[in-house]
Amino acid sequence: MTVMPRPSVLSVEPYVGGESKIPGVNRIIKLSSNEGAFGPPPAAIAAIADSAREAHRYPDGGAGALREAIGARFGLDPARIVCGNGSDELLAMLILAYGGEGTELVMSAHGFMMYDLTGRWAGCRVIKVPEKDLTADVDGLLAAVGPRTRLMFLANPNNPTGSILPQSEMERLRAGLREDVLLVLDSAYAEYVTRPDYDAGAKLVDAGGGNTVMTRTFSKIYGLGGMRLGWCYAPPAIVDVLGRVRGPFNVNAAAMAAGIAALAEPEWVEKSVAHNTAERARVSVALTQAGLKVWPSEGNFVLVDFGDAARAKAADTHLRSRGLIVRAMGGYGLAQTLRVTIGTAEENGLVIEALTAFARGQ
């Protein structure tokens, strides 16, 4: 008899990250994974190199110094912060700890696919709620909650659509959920948002009830995707649960050193936000003028709509012929779109040139 896993595990397709190579093309410009436009901060690079001298030592299992640095940077209690091997690990731990067989996980139709994949791996029934204009529908999300619902995941801003819900809608969503439904706010792109009415999730966590968690990452604006470093801010009871289920050394020493250094890099976030805001607008305006639809975005990417899947595939092929790798969105049910990361000014200019030529049939 063949040893078999739980049936729910076999329903999960392996996650496929953004491509980084094109056969036969020498210069590759990778704009498929929403990585920071400027790479890692200089201080983080130095910290990674320095950490090599102590590579034989186990890291601090509690990530104490990193939690202190995060708390100081964002005005949060370090005791309510948990660090992970990327925010993906924290999302998975929350699903495994609070979901599982016989429970339901509710998410927006075009939300981050790891909610769906990990939810099904854990044995949850995953309910995807239709969106309105590629934006999460609060009324629809609330209506989807049933007796077995234990988890709701929402990225704000959302990946891959770039859409955002205002704070008033986030508060209405939390108020409309039962107290036994855990709301997880994935704020991976929080640093890029410039709207004055935006809160990444700390206010809802602090509002009480013990039923809301905010997750964050160092993979985007801090340019540390390769180090796999994320964190969450949660009520004490949930922090206690995560402490019971996480691995004893789930964050490596180099990642922690890089994270602490990145948080302290002078003007890094300000420079990155200014660049992203200006370049995102430049790309959006230029592609719109070329006759393409660009969905509004609050992240470090834009979603370009080509109207149908065949045209989107042709556009992707055209970009790849020029060494430009973006992300096809068929896996998100958006086969008519391509997600384009905002890169350097030069990289963005090449995308504008290539897609303008494609739109005009050149």
pLDDT digits (tens, 9 = 90+) for 246-305: 999 999 999 999 999 999 999 999 999 999 999 999 999 999 999 999 999 999 999 999
Instruction: Answer yes or no: are the C-beta atoms of 312 and 326 closer than 8 Å.
Output: no
Q: The dihedral of CA 57, 62, 63, 65: what is its sign?
A: negative
Residues of the chain with pLDDT under 70: 1, 15-21, 24, 362
Global pTM reads: 0.93
pLDDT of residue 12: 74
Q: How many CB atoms lie under 10 A from the CB of residue 114? A: 20
Q: In 3D, which of 345, 356, 361 has the Cα closest to residue 292? A: 356
Distance, CA of 130 to CA of 110 (rounded, Å): 8
pLDDT of residue 20: 65
Distance, CA of 259 to CA of 239 (rounded, Å): 20
Distance, CA of 117 to CA of 120 (rounded, Å): 5
Q: How many CB atoms lie under 10 A from the CB of residue 314? A: 13
Distance, CA of 318 to CA of 208 (rounded, Å): 51
Q: How many CB atoms lie under 10 A from the CB of residue 250? A: 19
pLDDT of residue 362: 61
Q: The dihedral of CA 104, 106, 109, 114: what is its sign?
A: negative
Distance, CA of 217 to CA of 186 (rounded, Å): 9
Q: In 3D, which of 354, 349, 321 has the Cα closest to residue 26? A: 321
Instruction: Answer yes or no: are the C-beta atoms of 29 and 325 closer than 8 Å.
Output: yes
